């Protein structure tokens, strides 16, 4: 017997000789790749009786009902369910594969009220019960066993007891392997039944390699790619949209070539698993598109746009070609070097993105308990939920079943109508974790909620303003306990960071850790109102926003009483004239009298508000420009609109002259009329909210999608469709083409873009200064910006 210290990279299970074995794939402290097997854990679930107590008769009926399933024990246990003590029967089975059948039988047992926790995956159940955390260090008492011939690890151990989590912040030196494929696409959307993979490039720390097809035959690059991946033996495999495109395409093409694409550390092909991600057992397969999808600032989430936005590879530093023209570059051998470099640049971009994103992914995985390859594929709600499931186990709380519910609406946060125009020296005051702190302060939780008609003395409850929902003051509710622990953990980490150099490895690890905690903490309020949530309760979400509105109202009233000018307010922040003495007084009131933390988040030299809520732009003291809610960050305008509005904002805020901005817009109009604007900047992107056959009216993006479908593209609900408005008569919807079909600027309806895209985007900012549509034609000058500053 020995002790092994290892970092968990992946986890799965198999049934071997009728015994389920948990397999923990990881990296030892001396850098070996290891697998730790535990054959001592068994699946289980709970049955709640309809009566308060579990009777011997109830247990007998369960035993008789489950006679056709191999169960190991039935045990009467005491737990809590929504905070109330309950008795339940714990059913322990021999084989995880029998759980669905046993659950169905148990649900039909006489006097059974509910079957709980039968829908928790076996390996997740193991980690929850034993405090095992993915992407973290553990120590286990083990004995080394013979390694199966097909396993691609250095050592295999049998655990004599479950591993114990170690509070260690360092991360092992992970081997990262990024890849990207290009497919032949003469007929539009590549089809794996028809179109070969013509290029595969991979990037690692050692460099970039490219594997090429023999003309239209892709057996060689597939074999070379597989052999290279096995030779590099990566811990983390990363792609961009790889779960939805690259992996299914590779597997389909490999099967056509009669290749078993065996790259897992346990032997086996990548296979689709939970949340739609592809599992490569023993490695962490991560699709960075899942991470990119949560970056709202980037409208069109192509790899090059995300890489450019995050600064890992600028568009100006790489090869860019029209994806629809890939087949042309392949058919023309003189163009192949350009296509090859395009493919290599994609692989490099993916690798560099991974280096930026992985530290956060690792900390998020460790915190919420989802394996590294699942943590981005899972929704925000799922991440919060797994953290809650872990905490529920520690508190002795039973986990409610997952179920779908109809969407319920409730009143949200306060958003004040702004004072339109330019304002100078404006401070933004932010409440720190406002909703989590409200939930803690008023003990808002599903287990503390008191339904209508239940009498409790008024001094024993908190009653939400406006909505009247009541919550017991004691004991602390489930949400309050979880959030208190999270906020305290983040406070301790930030305190620890104060003594470290920002350039140190430990500082960077802790910084990613506190970011992960912040994300989960702030998402818990939203989770409570998410229809898919196990711990869903509309009243919880509704009461939280009601107390939030009251907090903002009291803060605003006090600010005005001390003569502090309020410009705007939104959810958990207020915009005020920068007056340090009065702001300090306001902060003291909020923290001392109201009991919530508030601080200055940023200070604008100038900020411009339209008349609409949630739409403004500002020049920060450090020279950066901040844009919220305008066309520049909306997803249904062409790139040219975004570019124009950003430039107009910059000119107005930096130079203080709206007429300089008018001249800039006039120059863009001249360029588009003469065909000098890149066609790619004219693409309008919109998502299909339903399948094509459900649309009764042909909106522009629907018509474009129908054209795409008839050309061989696969379009369905959720597809993002890009189109360009071209010349011709009739309605706009009758004049659109998919963006890749427009090859010549002469086809573009320039008047549409000028009248419906360019001028409206510019006017959204400039009309406040008296500028009208005709001024973009005449250029007539008006008074300066300084006449409009408040």
Q: pLDDT digits over 64-100, tens only?
A: 999 989 999 999 999 999 999 999 999 999 999 999 9
Q: Which residues contact 382 (CB under 8 A, 6 or more apart)?
A: 275, 370
Specify which residues 65 forms β-bridges with.
Answer: none
Task: Say whether pLDDT at 614 is over 80.
Answer: no
Cα–Cα dist 518/456, whole Å = 35
Higher pLDDT, 358 or 638: 358
Amino acid 689: pLDDT = 87
Which of 92-101, 126-135, 704-713, 776-785 shows the lowest per-residue confidence on average (mean pLDDT)? 776-785
Task: Say whether pLDDT at 788 is over 70.
Answer: no
Q: Which tokens is 493 given? A: 């980490």
Q: What band does 636 get if pLDDT is binned at 50, 70 and 90?
A: low
Cα–Cα dist 510/502, whole Å = 10
3-class secondary-structure state, position 600: strand
Cα–Cα dist 256/193, whole Å = 8
Region 354-361 average pLDDT: 97
Our CA angle for 73, 77, 78, nearest 5°, is 170
Q: Which tokens is 581 given? A: 């003495």
CATH 1.10.132.60 range(s) for the chain read 631-787
Q: Which of 230, 274, 464, 514 is nearest to 472 (CA)?
A: 464
Task: Say whether pLDDT at 632 is over 60.
Answer: no
Helix (H) or strand (E) holding 34: strand 33-38
CATH 2.40.50.730 range(s) for the chain read 2-40+132-166
Q: What band does 634 get if pLDDT is binned at 50, 70 and 90?
A: low
Count CA atoms within 13 Å of residue 454 on its CB side.
11
Q: Which tokens is 527 given? A: 């989770």
Q: What band does 686 get if pLDDT is binned at 50, 70 and 90?
A: confident
Q: What percent of the chain has pLDDT over 90?
A: 76
Backbone phi, psi, residue 26, to 5°: -160, -165
Q: Which tokens is 653 given? A: 């805020």
Amino acid 631: pLDDT = 55
Cα–Cα dist 4/37, whole Å = 12
Q: Which of 8, 9, 31 is nearest to 285 (CA)?
A: 9
CATH superfamily of 421-475+532-620: B family DNA polymerase, palm domain (3.90.1600.10)
Cis peptide before 132 (omega within 30 of 0): no
What is the secondary structure of 176-187 as a DSSP string? EEEEEEEE--TT
Q: Is 40 exposed, middle or buried (0-12, 13-18, 19+ CB in 10 A)?
A: middle
Task: Say whether pLDDT at 517 is over 50.
Answer: yes
Amino acid 786: pLDDT = 47
End-to-end CA distance of the chain: 76
Q: Which residues contact 716 (CB under 8 A, 6 or more apart)?
A: 688, 691, 692
Q: Is 406 exposed, middle or buried (0-12, 13-18, 19+ CB in 10 A)?
A: exposed
Task: Say whether pLDDT at 623 is over 90.
Answer: no
Q: What band does 783 get if pLDDT is binned at 50, 70 and 90?
A: low
Look-up: residue for tokens 């290029």? 199
Amino acid 611: pLDDT = 73
Q: What band does 715 get if pLDDT is binned at 50, 70 and 90?
A: confident
Within its chain, how far is the Cα of 9 from the centroid? 20
Cα–Cα dist 43/120, whole Å = 9
Contact call for residues 548 and 439 (beta carbons, < 8 A): no
Amino acid 630: pLDDT = 67
Specify which residues 626 forms β-bridges with.
Answer: 618
Amino acid 104: pLDDT = 97
Domain 44-121 adopts which CATH fold? DNA Polymerase; Chain A, domain 1 (3.30.342)
Region 631-647 average pLDDT: 75
Amino acid 635: pLDDT = 54
Amino acid 633: pLDDT = 45
Q: Which tokens is 229 given? A: 């991946």
Q: Which of 408-412, 554-558, 652-656 has the highest mean pLDDT?
A: 554-558
CATH 3.30.420.10 range(s) for the chain read 176-361
CB-based contacts of 320-323 (< 8 A; 24+ apart in sequence): 322/740, 323/185, 323/740
Specify which residues 49 forms β-bridges with.
Answer: 112
Within its chain, how far is the Cα of 706 from the centroid? 30
DSSP state of 592: I
Look-up: residue for tokens 């694409």? 261
Task: Say whether pLDDT at 399 is over 50.
Answer: yes
Cα–Cα dist 53/67, whole Å = 23
Q: Is 319 exposed, middle or buried (0-12, 13-18, 19+ CB in 10 A)?
A: middle
**Alpha-helix residue ranges (DSSP H) falling in 423-578:** 434-441, 478-497, 505-528, 538-561
Q: Which residues contact 332 (CB under 8 A, 6 or more apart)?
A: none
Amino acid 410: pLDDT = 83
Q: What percent of the chain has pLDDT over 70?
A: 97
Higher pLDDT, 499 or 785: 499
Cβ neighbours around 225 below 10 Å, total: 24
Beta strands, E only, 339-455: 421-431, 449-450
Please give the CATH architecture assigned to the domain spanning 176-361: 2-Layer Sandwich (3.30)
Task: Say whether pLDDT at 169 is over 90.
Answer: no
pLDDT in tens, 24-42: 999 999 999 999 999 999 9
pLDDT in tens, 172-228: 999 999 999 999 998 777 899 999 999 999 999 999 999 999 999 999 999 999 999
Q: Would you tell me which CATH number, out of the four given (2.40.50.730, 3.40.50.1980, 3.40.220.10, 3.40.50.880), belongs to the domain 2-40+132-166?
A: 2.40.50.730
CATH 3.90.1600.10 range(s) for the chain read 421-475+532-620
Q: Which tokens is 337 given? A: 């070097």
pLDDT in tens, 227-253: 999 999 999 999 999 999 999 999 999
Look-up: residue for tokens 């973009």? 776
Cα–Cα dist 664/758, whole Å = 11
3-class secondary-structure state, position 160: coil
Cβ neighbours around 715 below 10 Å, total: 20
pTM of the model: 0.89
Cα–Cα dist 706/708, whole Å = 5
Cα–Cα dist 445/262, whole Å = 48
Q: What band does 710 get if pLDDT is binned at 50, 70 and 90?
A: confident
Q: Is 591 exposed, middle or buried (0-12, 13-18, 19+ CB in 10 A)?
A: middle
Our CA angle for 593, 595, 601, nearest 5°, is 105
Give the pairing type, strands 284-287 and 236-239.
parallel
Higher pLDDT, 304 or 632: 304
Look-up: residue for tokens 């950066």? 624
Domain 631-787 adopts which CATH fold? Topoisomerase I; Chain A, domain 4 (1.10.132)
């Amino acid at each position: 017997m020995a002790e092994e210290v290892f970092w968990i990279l992946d986890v799965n299970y198999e049934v071997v000789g009728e015994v389920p074995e948990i397999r923990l794939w990881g990296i030892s402290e001396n850098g070996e790749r290891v697998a730790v097997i535990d054959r001592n854990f068994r699946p289980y679930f709970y049955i709640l009786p309809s009566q308060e107590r579990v009777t011997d008769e109830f247990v007998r009926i369960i035993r008789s009902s489950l006679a056709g399933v191999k169960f190991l024990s039935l045990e009467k246990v005491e737990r809590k369910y929504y905070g109330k003590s309950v008795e339940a029967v714990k059913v322990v089975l021999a084989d995880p594969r029998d759980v669905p059948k046993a659950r169905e039988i148990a649900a039909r047992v006489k006097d059974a009220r509910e079957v709980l926790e039968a829908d928790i995956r076996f390996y997740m159940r193991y980690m929850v019960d034993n405090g095992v955390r993915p992407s973290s260090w553990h120590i286990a008492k083990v004995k080394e066993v013979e390694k199966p011939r097909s396993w691609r690890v250095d050592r295999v151990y049998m655990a004599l007891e479950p591993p114990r989590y170690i509070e260690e912040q360092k991360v092992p030196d992970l081997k990262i392997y990024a890849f990207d494929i290009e497919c032949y696409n003469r007929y539009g959307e590549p089809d794996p039944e028809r179109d070969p993979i013509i290029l595969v490039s991979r990037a690692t720390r050692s460099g970039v390699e490219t594997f090429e097809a023999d003309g239209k035959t892709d057996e060689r690059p597939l074999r070379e790619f597989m052999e290279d991946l096995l030779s590099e033996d990566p811990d983390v495999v990363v792609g961009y949209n790889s779960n939805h495109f690259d992996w299914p395409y590779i597997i389909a093409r490999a099967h056509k070539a009669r290749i078993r694409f065996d790259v897992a550390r346990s032997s086996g092909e990548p296979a689709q698993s939970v949340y739609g991600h592809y599992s490569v057992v023993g490695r962490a397969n991560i699709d960075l598109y899942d991470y990119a999808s949560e970056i709202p600032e980037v409208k069109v989430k192509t790899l090059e746009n995300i890489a450019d936005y995050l600064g890992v590879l600028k568009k100006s530093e790489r090869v860019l070609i029209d994806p629809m023209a890939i087949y042309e570059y392949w058919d023309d051998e003189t163009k192949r070097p350009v296509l090859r470099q395009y493919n290599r640049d994609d692989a490099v971009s993916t690798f560099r993105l991974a280096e930026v994103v992985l530290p956060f992914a690792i900390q998020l995985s460790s915190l919420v308990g989802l394996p590294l390859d699942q943590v981005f594929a899972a929704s925000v709600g799922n991440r919060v939920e797994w953290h809650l499931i872990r905490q529920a186990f520690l508190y002795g709380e039973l986990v409610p079943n997952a179920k779908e519910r109809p969407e319920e609406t409730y009143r949200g946060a306060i958003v004040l109508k702004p004072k339109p125009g330019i304002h100078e020296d404006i401070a933004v005051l932010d409440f720190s974790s406002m909703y989590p702190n409200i939930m803690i302060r008023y003990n808002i939780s599903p287990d503390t909620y008191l339904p209508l008609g239940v009498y409790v003395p008024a001094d024993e409850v908190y009653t939400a303003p406006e909505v009247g929902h009541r919550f017991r003051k004691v004991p602390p509710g489930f949400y309050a306990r979880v959030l208190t622990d999270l906020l305290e953990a983040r406070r301790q980490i930030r305190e620890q960071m104060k003594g470290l150099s920002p350039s140190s490895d430990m500082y960077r690890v802790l910084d990613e850790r506190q970011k992960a905690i912040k994300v989960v903490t702030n998402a818990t309020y939203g989770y409570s109102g998410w229809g898919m949530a196990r711990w869903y309760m509309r009243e919880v979400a509704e009461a939280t926003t009601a107390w939030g509105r009251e907090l903002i109202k009291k803060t605003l009233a006090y600010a005005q009483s001390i003569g502090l000018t309020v410009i705007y307010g939104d959810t958990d922040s207020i915009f005020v004239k920068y007056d340090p003495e009065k702001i300090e007084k306001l902060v003291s009131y909020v923290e001392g009298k109201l009991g919530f933390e508030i601080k200055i988040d940023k200070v604008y030299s100038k900020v411009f508000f339209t008349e609409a809520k949630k739409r403004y732009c500002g020049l920060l003291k450090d020279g950066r420009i901040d844009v919220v809610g305008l066309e520049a960050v909306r997803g249904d305008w062409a790139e040219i609109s975004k570019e124009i509005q950003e430039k107009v904002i910059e000119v107005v805020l930096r130079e203080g002259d709206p007429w300089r901005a008018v001249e800039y817009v006039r120059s863009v109009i001249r360029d588009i009329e003469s065909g000098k604007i890149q066609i790619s900047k004219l693409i309008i992107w919109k998502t299909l909210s339903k399948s094509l056959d459900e649309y009764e009216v042909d909106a522009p993006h629907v018509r474009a999608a129908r054209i795409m479908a008839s050309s061989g593209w696969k379009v369905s609900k959720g597809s993002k469709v890009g189109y360009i408005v071209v010349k011709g008569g009739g309605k706009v919807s009758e004049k659109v083409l998919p963006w890749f079909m427009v090859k010549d600027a002469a086809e573009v309806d320039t008047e549409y873009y000028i009248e419906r895209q360019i001028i409206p985007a510019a006017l959204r900012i400039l009309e406040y200064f008296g500028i009208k549509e005709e001024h973009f034609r005449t250029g007539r000058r008006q008074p300066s910006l300084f006449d409009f500053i408040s």
